[in-house]
Amino acid sequence: MFEFETLLAFGVGAGLVALAPVVRRMGNHQLGDSMNQAGRSMAKGGIKVGVTVAGVAGTAARSVARHAAEAVETFGDLVAEARTELEDAEQEPAPAAKKPRGRSSKKTVTVTDVTVE
């Protein structure tokens, strides 16, 4: 997810910040200060990218969850409509069946029980 260069810059920046006090103690204050400033800006850049990526990932996750919830609700509505139609069909009187003409032996089967889980 993170680019290699960003992680490398963060690592180098953190290392410079950590080494700056050691260089200052060794007597080179100007180099220590310079290392600290450069390291801080590099580390902050890496942290900014991390915060941005985390924000985008969080937004994407919330969006996926919202759309999944909408899909589940739509499916639930479809199941409820199907059940209602089946109940209405059971309550209506069946039309008179026509007697087959000739030698036809076709039978009509009506399914009235459906379970959806």
User: Tens digit of pLDDT for each residue in 6-27?
Assistant: 778 788 888 888 888 888 888 8
The per-residue pLDDT for 67 is: 87
- Percent over 70 (pLDDT), the chain: 77
State yes or no: pLDDT of 83 exceeds 80: yes
The per-residue pLDDT for 89 is: 82
Closest among 14, 13, 15, 33 to 23, alpha carbons compared: 33
The model's pTM is 0.47
Closest among 86, 9, 83, 82 to 48, alpha carbons compared: 9
Helix H, strand E, coil C: the string for the chain is CCCHHHHHHHHHHHHHHHHHHHHHHCCCHHHHHHHHHHHHHHHHHHHHHHHHHHHHHHHHHHHHHHHHHHHHHHHHHHHHHHHHHHHHHHHCCCCCCCCCCCCCCCCCCCCCCCCCC
Distance CA 86, CA 68 (A): 27
Structure tokens, 9: 């810059």
